[in-house]
Amino acid sequence: MKEPRRHPLIVGSGIAGLYVALRCREMGLRPTIVTQGRLEESNTRYAQGGIAAAIGPGDSPALHFADTVRAGDGLVDRAAAKLLAREAPARIAALVRYGVPFDTAEGHIALGREAAHSRPRILHAGGDATGLSIEETLKRRVLEGGIDIEERTALRSLSPGGAHGPVALVARTAGGAEVTHESRPVVLATGGAGNLYRQSTNRPFAMGEGIAIAFRAGALVSDMEFVQFHPTAFWRDGAPRFLITEAIRGEGATLVNQAGERFMPGAHPDAELAPRDVVARAIDREIARSDRPWVYLDATGIPRDRLFARFPSICRFLLLYGIDPSRDRIPVAPVTHYMIGGVTTDLDGRTTLPGLYAAGEVAATGVHGANRLGSNSLLEGLVFGERVALRLKAPRAGAPPAPSRTLALPPVAGKGSVEDLTTLDRLRSRLWEDVGIVRTPDGLRAALGAFETLDREVEPAGRGGAAGAVANAALTASLIARAALERTESRGAHFRTDFPRRRESWSRHIGLRLRAPARRRR
C-alpha cells in the first residue's frame, strides 16, 4: 500500500538536508527545514578534503566501488557502494548545475588523490574549502527557492505516527515555544556524533542527538562501534583541533616521528596513503613511544606556490600559530572525525519507522563498512539524499533489513533529574579515553556502566517527556560503547587489544533497538 504524499519536515542543514530540500522543491513538494543553529552551521561547511567521483581518464565507477569496499574492511554493503560509485558523476553534475565552483586545470575539473583511492578522483572547490563552497551554494539556492526555514529550532522528540509519518516535537530555542508536526514524513539529516569525544574535528552541535531521538522512538540503529578517527589534526595546547586534510599526503607530504624518521612505510605498503584507520593507529603507536602527544606532518617537499594555492585555508591557519608549512613541520595527532554508524536505512533512506527517513552522517546505509573511504562522506549525502527525495515524491511502504545480529535493549527508567551540562565534559573525556582509537575490555565495560548510570539520572521520568542534551549524549555514548563491547574482534575503525585481529565470524553488522515493553496479562 502506498503512503500518501505529504510535505516533509527536514531536520538539519548540512549537505544532505539542503540537497533533499532542494530536490523536493524541484519535484513539487513543499519541504520545511528546521535546524538548531543558523542555516549554514554544519560540519559540511568545514569539510576540506573534497568529494569523490570517478569522472577522470582511466577511472570508472567500478574502480571507485572497489576502493570503497577495500577501505571498508569486509563490511561494506555492496549494493550501497555500487549505488554510491555509479551515481557519483550525476550528483557532481547536479552540484555544477547549482553553481558549485569546482577547481579546474586547463579547462577541466581538477582531480586530486587521497589515501586508499587508486586513482585521482577528488574534486575540490576553493582548494581546501570544498565544504564551504558547497554549503554556501546550496544555502543560496534554498533561500532563492522560497523553502520554509526555521532556524534555532531543535528536534526534541519523535513518536511513531503510523503510515502517514511520525509525530515530531520541535522547540524554537529563541522563545522556548514548542511546536508539534504531526503525520508528515520526517527526514533526519542531523549529522554525526563526533563532538561527543573530547578531541574532535567536529562542530559543537555534532552530539548524536538525532540518533538518540530516533532510537527512543523505536528506530533501529547499527554499526555504532565504528567511529572514524582522522589521522592528522593540528595539535597544540590551547588551539582548536583543526583538520589537516589527507589531500596533503596525496600531494606528497610524509609523516615523521620525534626523531624525524618516517614510520608509515613499515606500517602499510601504501605508507601515508593507507586507509585512515591504519594511519591513525600507527600515529597512536608512535605517540605512545614518545614523550609528546603528536607526530609531525612534513609538507616541506611540496613547492611553496603549489602548497599555498592548493591548501589556502590550512596555510592561513598554520601561519596564525607561527608555522610556515613550506619550511616547518606540522604537529599532528589523530582525533575523532566521523560517525560511520547511525540510524539504519535502506537504499532509499527509509528507516524501520514508517514515514521516518535519514540521510547523511546520521544514517547507517552500510556504504562505509567498518572504515569510511575519504571524500565519500559529502558524496553519500548527495547520492542517498537524491534517493530520499525521489521516495518522498513517490512514497511506498518499505524498511531496511535487520542486521544479522540485533540486540534489544530495555527502556531506561529515568529519574528526570535536572541536567548538569558540566557532566558533558566528563562524558566526552570518558569516550575519548575508553572508547577511542584503541579499546580494552575493562575500559569498554567501565564506560558503558558510566554512560548507562548517567542516562538513568537525566532521562525524563515517565512517558512522553522530551530528553535534553545530556540525556541524548549519554544514550548515544552508551550505544557506541555497547556495540564496541559486543564486537569481539578488530576491524576497520574498531580496534580491541584483547581481540587484535579480524574474525570472519564477525563479518556482520550489529543492530541495536529498543525492547518493546512487555504486555500486561489481563
Q: What is the 3-state secondary structure (H, E, C) of 446-484?
A: HHHHHHHHHHHHHCCCCCCCCCCHHHHHHHHHHHHHHHH
Is 223 in contact with 482 (CB distance < 8 Å)?
no
355, HSE (Cβ side, Cα atoms, 13 Å): 25
User: Under DSSP, is residue 442 helix (H, G, I), strand (E, B) or coil?
Assistant: helix
Residues ≥6 apart with Cβ < 8 Å to 459 = 412, 413, 414, 415, 416, 467, 471, 474, 475
Residues ≥6 apart with Cβ < 8 Å to 521 = none
To the query of whether residue 25 is one of the catalytic residues in this protein, the response is no
Catalytic residue among 276, 281, 310, 350: 276
Closest CA to 293 of 233, 338, 227: 233
Residues ≥6 apart with Cβ < 8 Å to 478 = 448, 451, 452, 455
Is 309 in contact with 329 (CB distance < 8 Å)?
no
User: Under DSSP, is residue 21 helix (H, G, I), strand (E, B) or coil?
Assistant: helix
Closest CA to 477 of 521, 502, 444, 514: 444
Is 299 in contact with 330 (CB distance < 8 Å)?
yes
Residues facing 229 on adjacent strands: 336
CA 71, 72, 78, 80 torsion-angle sign: negative
Closest CA to 205 of 215, 191, 219, 216: 191
Reading the block at residue 89, the C-alpha cell is 558523476
Backbone torsions φ then ψ of 7, nearest 5 degrees: -85, 125
Reading the block at residue 175, the C-alpha cell is 522563545
Residues ≥6 apart with Cβ < 8 Å to 513 = 215, 218, 219, 220, 221, 352, 406, 407, 408, 409
| Active-site residue list | 276
